[in-house]
Structure 1
Amino acid sequence: MTHSRRHFLGTASTLAAGAGLSALVPASVSAFAPVSPADKIRIGAIGINGMGWADLTAILKNPGTECVALCDVDKNVLDKRAAELSRGGAKVKTYGDYRQLLADKDVDAVVIGTPDHWHCLMMVEACQAGKDIYVEKPIGNSIAECRAMVAAQQRYNRVVQVGQWQRSQKHFRDAIDFVHSGKLGKIRLVKVWGYFAWVNPISKLPDGNPPAGVDYRTWLGPAENRPFNPNRFHFNFRWFWDYAGGLMTDWGVHLLDYALLGMKSATPHSIMAAGGKFANQDSGAETPDTLTTVFEFDDFNIQWEHAMGIDGGPYARGHGIAYIGNNGTLVLNRDGWEVIPEGKRMEAVAFQKASDNGLDLHAQNFIEVIKSRKMTDLHAPIQVGADIAIFSQMGNISYRTGKKIYWDKEHGKFTDDEANKLIAKEYHNGYKLPSVS
């Protein structure tokens, strides 16, 4: 982006919608004054099968944005998404190698929607290439990756929004304001849970050949070189340690983030996790389908629990966060929040229903900060993403070691050697964990 483009994006208060993107942009955008192509924020997206595509679509609803490039290792997905944009009148370049997209000087900002094991490398290299970044959660697949990503943002001073879009929803913010008001009294426990009947344990499948059009070697990237298995590809990568961390880092990152925000804390003293493949011991997954984890702080605990294949969670909700205080309990999830009093110690608060689209608001916040360069206005900056990704990794490390583990905050490591071995993941296939000086 040239100096004149940066000046315009930093001072303009109104930008027009990208030309020809009528399929993705609301009709109301047409009321904005036209903006020359040189003054638009040009977006490239890497990993566009699931949330990457949803993120891109939300970003393109903002005036003055346009998609100029797409990248995916699955040519079937790449061609499909390019065709969808083409039907709206957009012409985009397509890449199979993300490095070519990052080298494209027509790209100002990138969306990273790949499997988790690719987030760190791509985000760091995008910072080095001078791009602003919207990266999906969890930001890293290890504690060491999270640290490298924070260092990269600080070193290169890029706008980095993490895809924890609940940070932009009004009812979540209102609930946290109530928690911080003190009306609940002393909060002694925060229960966080995800019970998901729509996520069933996967059956074992034989290894085979990658689908036609899939660059499987590139998909593996820094992960261990294994034969292709359909269970490990696309959505189900979440259930394998090579690429992700199961429900703890998938949904847990969203929900536990609000537990930490409510309690104004990020670092536990100890972590104890227990669970396993209880729903289906013959499951083809590696991560547990049932898990309970307790994070211990000075004078309260945070408890996470998840169960795949069933919906019967606490408070008759499939997912949620409950701040349990001496005077009452506030129960919060994506649908809304309410307060259940403890006897007559406080008044009940009737259910406050969700009223907005968190993803759209999150994308809008990202674009606004690209224009203003006011990093403090970001709703989910890189440090927020790192805090919760590290917190969730701690839970998984306790589970994988089978131990109650203790965190040495002063030295940034566990007191247990076996747990410390899981702070960083081994990189394979010639890739190395980025080092940011």
Structure 2
Amino acid sequence: MTNSRRKFIGSASAIMAGAGISAIIPSSLSAFPVLALPADTIRVGAIGVNGMGWSDLTAILKNPGVECVALCDVDKNVLDKRVAELAAKNVKVKAYSDYRKLLEDKDIDAVVIGAPDHWHCLMMVEACQAGKDVYVEKPIGNSIAECRSMIAAQHKYNRVVQVGQWQRSQRHFRDAMEFVHSGKLGKVRLVKVWSYFSWVTPITKLPDGTPPAGVDYDMWLGPAPKRPFNPNRFHFNFRWFWDYAGGLMTDWGVHLLDYALLGMKAAIPNSIMAAGGKFANPDSGAETPDTLTTVYEFDDFNIQWEHAIGIDDGPYNRQHGIAFIGNNGTLVLDREGWEVIPEGKKMEAVALRKSSDNGLDLHAKNFIEVVKSRKMEDLNAPVKIGADIAIFSQMGNIAFRTGKKIYWDKEKGKFTDDEANKLIAKEYHNGYKMPKLST
């Protein structure tokens, strides 16, 4: 769909709404532009289709006026599987092993980026440069410096960029925030955020070996350091290695800490300290900690993150969650719903209010709506929101890796500690250069 077509659709929708025509459209269709002609189909390509990239694409394709025209993956086994799945639904797509070839494809209007974290920045920036709109998985960047460049790229190229923090589109999370902001909890002095997951098991050390047949391992590494292939570092487990990701802190932390910041209307802490390690299994093949406690200090409250791999029973008998602890009561929130536990008789309890919608589907719908309308302010998780929480999570990891209590200089935009500042950016390798854009 060309830019002129996008503008036409947005203008036509606005005119019809002004004329009162939207009032006679069924509510199930009113969220979509009235004009959804075949010529104005949004053509989507997906990069990285093994895990969440495929889930994201599937959700996006549920929207009318959208079709998939291309897939890309460095693992031919995964790529062939997904191409066949679409073919079974009478959807024929182009198949690429190099994302740059997909971005050169003029038939593609928008891309889904589901590659490992260390690829998000390059792919998103280059997709914007190529005139594509982008749905990029979280965490948006793999370093503080990458997050800054990604904000600048979106501003420079004015593309729609939705970050895959789909909880931002879920009703019960929004309802919980309204309650927190109502003041009924009284002064909130501490926000506890946690992930306790027994389904994430410590990985056993494995010897280096040969990449599986059909895998372009050099392309998979991209800007990460050149290392021999090890199955522990490939596919799902990449998230437990500093070269490519940041462990549970950036994997689940960006989802949950995001709502801690939103509830407290906060962004940048004064200081951060963290302690943890591979306590569940010291011989694990992973690098990131399986047990971690991080404290973010603000002027008059703290946010505390903790995770424990291999354990299911977390605070308030929940595997994961956010607890806003106020003088009058505590609001506990997770993906299942939210409730309020009173402090004595200072307030009324609120029984569990369960989730009743599909956050990922709603998030995909929101992305497509904005691709059509070009109203950037309607995005539920724009690039700035994704960058803010990714930076916040990276700060926690930097505190852990330095072993220090670190302080952020808001005016200079860096830490007061030289060792911590060295971790603001990650070095790019193998001929790749980090995009250096500034707002």
Normalising by the residue count of structure 1, what TM-score does the alignment of the two structures yield? 0.95
**Paired letter, 1:227:** P
Indicate the residue corresponding to 2:78 in structure 1. Answer: 77
Secondary structure at the counterpart of residue 76 of structure 1: helix
Task: Verify: 1:2 aligned to 2:27, yes or no.
Answer: no
The alpha carbon displacement at 1:38 in A equals 2.4
Equivalent pairs, count:
423
Indicate the residue corresponding to 1:20 in structure 2. Answer: none
* Paired residues of 1:266 and 1:387 also in contact (CA < 8 A): yes
Task: Verify: 1:135 aligned to 2:140, yes or no.
Answer: no
Indicate the residue corresponding to 1:22 in structure 2. Answer: none
Indicate the residue corresponding to 2:415 in structure 1. Answer: 414
Deviations 1:47-100 (A, max 9, x none): 000000000000000000000010000001111101111111111001001011
Distance 1:305 1:343 in 2: 27
The alpha carbon displacement at 1:436 in A equals 2.1
Indicate the residue corresponding to 2:167 in structure 1. Answer: 166
Distance 1:34 1:398 in 2: 51
Indicate the residue corresponding to 1:432 in structure 2. Answer: 433
Superposition RMSD in Å: 1.6
Secondary structure at the counterpart of residue 151 of structure 1: helix
Indicate the residue corresponding to 2:351 in structure 1. Answer: 350
**Paired letter, 1:145:** E
The alpha carbon displacement at 1:7 in A equals 3.1
Q: Residues 377, 35 of structure 1: CA spacing in aligned structure 2 closer, same or farther, 3 A cutoff?
A: closer
Distance 2:272 2:158 in 1: 33
Q: Residues 368, 36 of structure 1: CA spacing in aligned structure 2 closer, same or farther, 3 A cutoff?
A: closer
The alpha carbon displacement at 1:197 in A equals 0.4
Secondary structure at the counterpart of residue 134 of structure 2: strand
**Paired letter, 1:296:** E
The alpha carbon displacement at 1:264 in A equals 0.3
Secondary structure at the counterpart of residue 5 of structure 2: helix
* Paired residues of 2:6 and 2:373 also in contact (CA < 8 A): no
The alpha carbon displacement at 1:222 in A equals 0.2
Distance 1:217 1:376 in 2: 38
Unaligned runs of 5+ in 1: 15-27
The alpha carbon displacement at 1:230 in A equals 0.2
Distance 2:35 2:272 in 1: 54
Indicate the residue corresponding to 1:213 in structure 2. Answer: 214
Distance 1:305 1:380 in 2: 24
Indicate the residue corresponding to 2:303 in structure 1. Answer: 302
Distance 1:271 1:226 in 2: 32
Q: Residues 176, 121 of structure 1: CA spacing in aligned structure 2 closer, same or farther, 3 A cutoff?
A: same
Task: Verify: 1:372 aligned to 2:349, yes or no.
Answer: no
The alpha carbon displacement at 1:276 in A equals 0.1
Distance 1:2 1:342 in 2: 57
Secondary structure at the counterpart of residue 252 of structure 2: helix
Deviations 1:139-165 (A, max 9, x none): 000000000000000111110000000
**Paired letter, 2:212:** P
The alpha carbon displacement at 1:12 in A equals 5.6
Matches within 5 A, 1:198-347: 198-347=199-348
The alpha carbon displacement at 1:356 in A equals 0.1
Secondary structure at the counterpart of residue 315 of structure 1: helix
Indicate the residue corresponding to 2:93 in structure 1. Answer: 92
**Paired letter, 2:113:** I
Give percent identity, aligned residues only. Answer: 82
Normalising by the residue count of structure 2, what TM-score does the alignment of the two structures yield? 0.94
Distance 1:308 1:12 in 2: 51
Distance 1:12 1:54 in 2: 31
* Paired residues of 2:196 and 2:309 also in contact (CA < 8 A): yes
The alpha carbon displacement at 1:312 in A equals 1.2
Indicate the residue corresponding to 1:24 in structure 2. Answer: none
* Paired residues of 1:330 and 1:339 also in contact (CA < 8 A): yes
Unaligned runs of 5+ in 2: 15-27
The alpha carbon displacement at 1:6 in A equals 2.0
Indicate the residue corresponding to 2:182 in structure 1. Answer: 181
The alpha carbon displacement at 1:274 in A equals 0.1
**Paired letter, 1:190:** V
Distance 1:34 1:328 in 2: 49
Distance 1:35 1:239 in 2: 43
Distance 1:158 1:37 in 2: 22
Distance 1:394 1:188 in 2: 21
The alpha carbon displacement at 1:328 in A equals 0.1
Matches within 5 A, 1:86-125: 86-125=87-126
* Paired residues of 1:58 and 1:359 also in contact (CA < 8 A): yes
Distance 2:11 2:73 in 1: 34
